[in-house]
Amino acid sequence: MIRQIVSGGQTGVDRAALDFAIKHGIDYFGFIPRNRRAEDGRIPDTYTFLVETESYDYRVRTVKNLIYADGTLIIYRYLIGGTRLTYQKCKELGKPLYLIAINRDFDFLKEREKFNNWLKNHRVSILNVAGNRESEARGIYGVSFRLLEHLLLPLEPKDSR
């Protein structure tokens, strides 16, 4: 079971992960660039459980987040920029990594089952969610939010509250 979502706060996939966690009452955390730097200006202060690094460099928070988490889910349309860096660093550091390319057709039921098995096999309870920023893949926020609901909500016990 996922007990915490980790995100770097950028537009697109990162914000979808934060909003998903908030909506569904899942703890969230993440390292973010100094001064809450993001492509749309400043990461909103409403995301209260994010910690600024001493650097403005996105790469610093990317590496800190994937090291902090038990495993990383990358949702992407294009494996470029920070998304590519996340992929490379996970491989380099031997961190569990699960990739979902949203530019291909895939079987949602089969994907959910594979993802569930990956979570169990790697004992992931703190999940780093990364991927394209909105300017790299227009509409990725909405797709990612729905995908996270599909992947993670069925994994929660039905009568957990």
Compute the distance between CA of residue 36 and CA of residue 52 in angstroms, rounded to an integer. 6
What are the boundaries of each domain within the chain?
A: 4-155
Compute the distance between CA of residue 70 and CA of residue 120 in angstroms, rounded to an integer. 11
Note the pLDDT of residue 104: 63
Note the pLDDT of residue 161: 43
Q: Is the pLDDT of residue 1 over 50?
A: yes
pLDDT digits (tens, 9 = 90+) for 113-154: 999 999 999 999 999 999 999 999 999 999 999 999 999 986
pLDDT digits (tens, 9 = 90+) for 83-95: 999 999 999 999 9
Domain 4-155 CATH class label: alpha beta
pTM reported for the whole predicted model: 0.92
Note the pLDDT of residue 160: 46
